[in-house]
Amino acid sequence: AQSVTQLDSHVSVSEGTPVLLRCNYSSSYSPSLFWYVQHPNKGLQLLLKYTSAATLVKGINGFEAEFKKSETSFHLTKPSAHMSDAAEYFCVVSALGAGSYHLTFGKGTKLSVIP
Amino acid sequence: NAGVTQTPKFRILKIGQSMTLQCTQDMNHNYMYWYRQDPGMGLKLIYYSVGAGITDKGEVPNGYNVSRSTTEDFPLRLELAAPSQTSVYFCASSYLKGGPEPQHFGDGTRLSIL
C-alpha cells in the first residue's frame, strides 16, 4: 500500500520570499514521485519528477524538490515566490503494487502569494 | 500542440439525466484515465484503459461507464446522474502506465447535478 500526505492544505507567502510545500509519502517499493501544479480552471501540469536518479530534482519555473528516503519526504521549494505561482500543488507517488503501478495523489496544497 | 482535449468544459445536469464526457488525445498514448476531483480530496481514479478495447475499474467506478474504440478517444458516460457526481472530471493519458512516466491532463469538465 502507498499513501501521500501533504502537510499543509494552505500556504501563504509574500512575493519574493521562499516557498516550501511539504509532502511525505509511504511506499513498499521504490517510488517515483511527482509534483503537479493546477491553476484555476485548468488541468494538472507537471512541475518535476523524481525517478531514482539525482535526489535533488529541478523543475520548471524555478521549482525544485529533494527526495529524502530516510525521512520519506519530497518537499517542493522555490527561492523567491512570484504572483504567478499562486495555484494548487499536488504531490503524487507512483509505485509498483500487486503487479501493477498505482498512482496516489495528495489532497493538494493551495499556495497564495501576497503582493 | 493539443495534447489532451476535454469537452464540454462546463455542464449542468438534472438528476436522472445522462451524458457523455468526451476526451481525445493526439499523442498516440496507449494509456488513458478518468479522474474526479472533489474539493480537498485530491484526484480519484474512476476508470482507465491500457489500449483500444481494454478498460478497467479504478477506485471509484460506480455510476460511470467507459469505452475505448480508438487509441485517441476515451469517453466517460454517466447513465443516471446523481448529486454525488457533482465534481470536476479530468482525463489524462500516458505513454506507459506508472513508474517514472508522468500523465498528461486535460483542462477538465466541471459538472453540476441539480
Q: What is the pLDDT of residue A10?
A: 97
Residue A87 above 90 pLDDT?
yes
Stretch among A11-15, B70-74, B84-88, B102-106 having the lowest mean pLDDT: B102-106
pLDDT, residue B69, reads 95
* Beta-carbon separation of B43 and A46 below 8 A: no
What confidence tier does B12 reach under pLDDT thresholds 50, 70, 90?
very high
pLDDT at position A24: 97
Instruction: Find the mean pLDDT for residues A55-70.
Output: 93
Residue A100 at interface with chain B, using a CB cutoff of 8 Å: yes
Q: Lowest-pLDDT range, A89-93, A96-100, B89-93?
A: A96-100
Task: Place A97 in a pLDDT band, splitting at 50, 70 and 90.
Answer: low
Structure confidence at residue B26 (pLDDT) = 95
pLDDT tier for residue A100 given thresholds of 50, 70 and 90 = low
Chain B positions in Cβ-Cβ contact with residue A49 (cut-off 8 Å) = 100, 102
Cell numbers of B72, please? 485517441
Out of A34, A102, A105, name the one closest to residue B42 (CB).
A105
Confirm if A25 and A91 have CB atoms less than 8 A apart: yes
Task: Please give the average per-residue pLDDT across A85-107, as a whole number.
Answer: 83
Residues of A in contact with B106 (CB under 8 A): 43
Looking at residues B29-56, what average pLDDT do you find? 91
B100 touches A: beta carbon within 8 Å: yes
The answer, for A3 touching chain B at a CB cutoff of 8 Å, is no
pLDDT at residue number A94: 85
Mean pLDDT is lowest, of A52-66, B59-73, B78-92, for A52-66
Q: Could you tell me the end-to-end alpha-carbon distance of chain B, in angstroms, rounded to an integer?
A: 35
Q: How confident is the model at residue B99 (pLDDT cuts 50, 70, 90)?
A: low
Strands A10-14 and A109-114: parallel
Q: Hey, is the C-beta of B43 within 8 angstroms of any chain A C-beta?
A: yes
SS3 call for A18 = coil
pLDDT number for residue A2:
82
Residue A103 has pLDDT above 60, yes or no: yes
CA distances from B75 to A9, A33, B29 (A): 32, 28, 15
Give the pLDDT of residue B68: 96
What are the start-end ranges of the E strands in chain B? 4-7, 10-13, 19-25, 31-37, 43-51, 54-57, 64-66, 76-78, 87-94, 104-105, 109-113
How does strand A10-14 pair with strand A32-38? unpaired
Check: CB of residue A46 under 8 Å from CB of residue A57. Answer: no
Helix/strand/coil (H/E/C) assignment for every residue in B67-83: CCCCCCECCEEECCCCH
Backbone dihedral angles phi then psi of residue B74, each to the nearest 5 degrees: -145, 80
**Mean pLDDT over residues A23-29, rounded?**
87
Mean pLDDT of A43-51: 91
- Higher-pLDDT residue of A1, B12: B12
Query: Looking at residue B103, what is its pLDDT?
Result: 86
b/e per residue B15-54 (b: at least 16 CB within 10 A) = eeeebebbbbbeeebbbbbbbbbeeeebbebbbbbeebee
